[in-house]
Amino acid sequence: MGPNDRHIKLRIDWYFSGYCGKTNHTSLPKHPREKILLYKPHHHEKRKKLEKTENTKNVMSEALKRDYRVCEEIGRGRFGVVFKCYSPETGVKFAVKSINKLLIADDSIDHQCLYNEAKIMQLLSPNPHIVCIADVYEDDTYLDIVLELCNSSDLFQRLSIQRIFSESDAIAVMVPLMKAIAHCHRLGVAHRDIKPDNILFSDWNELKLADFGSAECFREGELISGVVGTPYYVAPEVLARRDYNEKVDIWSAGVILYIMLAGIPPFYGDSTEEIFEAVLRANLRFPTRIFHSVSPAAKDLLRRMLCKDVSRRFSAEQVLHLKWQDSKK
């Protein structure tokens, strides 16, 4: 990452990818669907030191360990560790995200993001298309969030296996995703980091939107600020450092739809800076060799979701009411 990239402080997957703890990357991916992870180096080094002393016995609060039986580690993120666990009373399995508060003691923004996630997930639960929060525990060292367990592959992994989705398969993803986003927006929550890594699936193949660490609450008509998101998926108004509204989530979902139908992102570059420049230009194209079999209705939806003019960009409810979904069932 060059010096021109460092000044753009995107808060990108700073502590977890969903709750599955994907591998950290600091350079541009070779494949357009591989994630780019930008984080503060001093936090990375601090985390490395703490990893040497953390294990299943001393990670997480004692109160949580009284109520749940902690099993194997299933992920490791920037600020903590993720384990499978289960309730001895019911036998129901969960994921527990155990966050080391020492890693956020010196950063008020990280501290706020981590605490906001639990509060926002409690606000949004229950919803069939959002990862449910079961319990929250805290002591002097750890913040532990018990979450619905999603054992199946996430959308990022599915895109890595299935390069291009049929329109029917894309609809099967977009409808529950847009229902989740619409639910968030109705309750005054903008996710701000919609991307394949944060779209999980249950054992019954039910889509679940995850990772609300970058989410922000808003009131009707109120704008949001802050450069938050992930390259490829971040909306142009965010990169332009303008105040914005919840429709940044629609843009990100539109990028996902484009990738599912085309196998490539709509705005691409050979460096992080070039990606940002392409997003800012927002020159949406449909190459014939790629989109020859994609319906006009699908391309029309992409134009409405990936519209640089926010006033003309569709809302989540408008996307859900479009007839493209019915025509491909």
- Whole-angstrom CA distances from 38 to 5, 41, 114, 254 are 9, 9, 17, 23
Q: Is 323 assigned a ligand-binding role in the annotation?
A: no
User: DSSP class of residue 18?
Assistant: T
CB-based contact 261:291 (threshold 8 Å)? yes
- Strand runs (DSSP E) across 129-238, as ranges? 133-138, 142-148, 189-190, 199-201, 207-209, 216-217
**Nearest CA to 248 among 274, 279, 283, 270?**
279
Quote the DSSP letter at residue 198.
G
Tokens 């490829």 correspond to what residue?
232
* Bridge partner residues of 76 (DSSP): 81
End-to-end CA distance of the chain: 44
The reply to whether 193 belongs to the active site is yes
CB-based burial label for 68 (10 Å; 0-12, 13-18, 19+): buried
CA gap 256, 253 in Å, rounded:
5
In whole angstroms, give the CA distance from residue 313 to residue 305.
Answer: 6
Q: Which whole-number Å values give the CA distances from 95 to 81, 153, 163, in the listed order? A: 10, 15, 29
Question: Of residues 193, 197, 211, 249, which has the active-site annotation?
Answer: 193
- Compute, in degrees rounded to 10, the torsion defined by CA atoms 247, 248, 249, 251: 100
Query: d(Cα 293, Cα 261) in Å, to the nearest integer?
Result: 10
Residues with a catalytic annotation lie at: 193
Annotated binding site: 97
Binding residues for ATP: 97
